[in-house]
């Protein structure tokens, strides 16, 4: 594997792509430390530290995950790339229900460019709305226990904050597109993965601090060497399980009949349609967490007894949270799969080009067969995804370790890092093999999340 990385820099074109990717990532990480004007960063960081100890499972935690820690410092990149994903999801949903967008999606590359442009507009609109409410929220000292976060509140501060945060979000989106065009890997996903990995040193320092005699952190007790070894074993097992979940697929064989057009013979070949076990990726977890953790976030700002009770019941580690999050992940696994894969269109396209599944009639029978496969393959994938999602809460409570450390034993962070790593390595390996270099694996090939038919 090390030799494959060395070979990657021997190929001029691949070396250029890798260096561009590293440079863009460095620019992104540098921007996560540039503060937003007019804000006392030290007091804001103090507030978020206190918030993490009391309501560690709020939406702020997920926003901080996607911003690489920038939301806790409220830097110019505080909004991160989350709004791009939200806008992309909204466009996917609208593509299903709006005929004009559905027609664009079927036009190929030109239609994709228009939809992508609409996604950019949606990202800017969402960033403007959220940055404005963030500015209003920062101006109120009552929200921060009397701390004066903004020195000079008013419309000049609000407009400056909206302009700064929205520009930062647009710039991150542009950086991701530059990686996509001139670098290696999926730009948007790679930026998120880098932000998650940037938290690793903090987690390691927390473990070292807890290993010291008499150490206490966030209500957690001393950690001995056996606990650390057990944590390492659980982490390796979680990574293996996540890889299996990401790579698992069911291949449906497809046979194309021979067609004679003039003097040429077309078709007569065998291929397959891969059905991913985890077709929704990390999206079901993000949807579920957004819904479950919303009451906990509202409970931080609204001192209503009923809201406080709901927030406490749905906070991280409680039985109500675990049951609700697992149910919603199962629901959104089926929901996202139904949006991403249309068995009617696939069956019609197969029939149009003379394709059929051995033993299954073309047309409605093929559609029913696809529905049968999808319903049964999504259930174990959704259950597996739900177990991985709640693993940090279970491990953290069992080993009595901080959630920031336990978050690396599963959940959104691990799924994103594993998926993005596999995709990036797959692209690098394809470049190496194309130029007659040995890939990362001597046997077989790395399969990314986007697997083509063969």
pLDDT (tens digit per residue) in 305-352: 776 677 677 766 677 788 888 888 898 888 888 877 888 888 888 888
Residue 15 has pLDDT above 50, yes or no: yes
| CA 436 vs CA 8, 430, 443, 444: distances in Å | 12, 10, 15, 15
pLDDT of residue 173: 92
Work out the average pLDDT over 379-406: 79
How deeply is 147 buried, as exposed, middle or buried, from its count of CB atoms within 10 A (0-12, 13-18, 19+)?
A: middle
pTM of the predicted protein model: 0.78
Work out the average pLDDT over 230-252: 84
Distance CA 289, CA 275 (A): 25
Work out the average pLDDT over 199-222: 67
Work out the average pLDDT over 342-367: 85
pLDDT tens sequence across 95-119: 878 888 888 887 877 888 888 899 9
Where does the pLDDT of residue 217 fall: very low under 50, low under 70, confident under 90, or very high at 90 and above?
very low
Interior CA angle at 249 toward 1 and 65, to 5°?
A: 65
Work out the average pLDDT over 148-160: 86
Cα pseudo-dihedral 216, 293, 67, 167, rounded to 10 = -140
Backbone angles phi, psi at 150, to 5 degrees: -105, 125
Distance CA 175, CA 182 (A): 10
Work out the average pLDDT over 237-262: 80
Paired residues of 355 in beta bridges: 256
Please name which of 413, 445, 407, 411 lies closest in space to residue 426, comparing C-alpha atoms: 445
Average pLDDT, the chain: 78
Work out the average pLDDT over 266-270: 67
pLDDT of residue 21: 92
Please count the other Cβ atoms lying within 10 Å of the Cβ belonging to residue 64. Answer: 21
Listing DSSP states for 396-448 in one string gives HHHHT--HHHHGGGSHHHHHHHHHHHHHHHHHHHHHHHHTT---S-SSS----
Residue 401's Cβ-side half-sphere holds a number of Cα atoms within 13 Å equal to 29
**Mean pLDDT lowest among 96-105, 126-135, 268-277, 393-402:** 393-402
Distance CA 146, CA 452 (A): 56
Residue 398 has pLDDT above 50, yes or no: yes
Distance CA 243, CA 195 (A): 20
pLDDT of residue 198: 83
| Radius of gyration of the chain measured on its C-alpha atoms | 24
What is the widest separation between alpha-carbon atoms in the chain? 84
**How many residues in the chain?**
454
Structure tokens given for 100: 């004009």
| CA 75 vs CA 35, 67, 138, 187: distances in Å | 4, 10, 13, 21
Q: List the domains of the chain with CATH numbers.
A: 1-193 (1.10.3370.10), 199-409 (1.10.3370.10)
pLDDT of residue 261: 64
Structure tokens given for 106: 């079927």
Distance CA 102, CA 96 (A): 6
């Amino acid at each position: 594997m090390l030799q494959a990385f060395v070979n990657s820099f021997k190929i001029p074109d691949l070396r250029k792509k890798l260096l561009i990717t590293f440079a863009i990532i460095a620019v992104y990480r540098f921007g996560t430390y540039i503060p937003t004007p007019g804000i006392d960063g030290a007091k804001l960081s103090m507030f978020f530290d206190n918030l993490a100890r009391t309501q560690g499972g709020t939406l702020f935690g997920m926003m901080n995950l996607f911003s690489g820690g920038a939301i806790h410092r409220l830097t110019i990149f505080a909004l991160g790339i989350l709004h791009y994903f939200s806008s992309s999801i909204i466009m996917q949903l609208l593509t299903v229900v709006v005929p004009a967008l559905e027609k664009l999606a079927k036009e190929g590359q030109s239609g994709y460019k228009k939809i992508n442009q609409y996604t950019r507009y949606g990202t800017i609109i969402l960033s403007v709305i959220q940055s404005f409410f963030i500015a209003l929220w920062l101006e109120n000292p009552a929200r921060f226990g009397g701390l004066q976060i903004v020195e000079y509140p008013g419309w000049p501060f609000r407009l400056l904050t909206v302009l700064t945060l929205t520009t930062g979000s647009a710039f991150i989106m542009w950086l991701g597109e530059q990686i996509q065009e001139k670098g290696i890997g999926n730009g948007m996903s790679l930026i998120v993965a880098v932000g998650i990995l940037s938290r690793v040193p903090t987690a390691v320092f927390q473990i070292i601090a807890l290993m010291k005699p008499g150490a206490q952190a966030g209500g957690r007790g001393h950690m001995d060497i056996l606990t650390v070894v057990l944590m390492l074993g659980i982490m390796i097992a979680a990574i293996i399980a996540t890889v299996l979940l990401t790579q698992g697929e069911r291949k449906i064989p497809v046979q194309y009949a021979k067609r004679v057009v003039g003097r040429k013979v077309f078709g007569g070949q065998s291929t397959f349609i891969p059905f991913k076990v985890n077709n929704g990726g990390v999206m079901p977890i993000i949807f579920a967490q957004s819904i479950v953790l919303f009451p906990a976030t509202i409970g931080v700002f609204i001192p209503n007894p009923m809201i406080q009770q709901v927030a406490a019941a749905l906070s991280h580690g409680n039985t109500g949270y675990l049951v609700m999050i697992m149910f919603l992940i199962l629901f959104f696994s089926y929901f996202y799969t139904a949006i991403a894969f249309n068995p009617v269109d696939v069956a019609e396209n197969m029939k149009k080009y003379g394709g059929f599944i051995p033993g299954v009639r073309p047309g409605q029978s093929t559609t029913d067969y696809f529905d049968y496969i999808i319903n049964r393959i999504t259930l174990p994938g959704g259950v597996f995804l739900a177990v991985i999602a709640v693993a940090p809460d279970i491990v953290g409570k069992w080993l009595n370790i901080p959630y920031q450390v336990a978050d690396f034993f599963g959940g959104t962070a691990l799924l994103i890092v594993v998926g993005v790593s596999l995709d990036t390595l797959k692209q690098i390996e394809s470049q190496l093999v194309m130029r007659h270099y040995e890939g990362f694996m001597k046997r077989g090939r790395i399969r990314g999340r986007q697997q083509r038919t063969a």
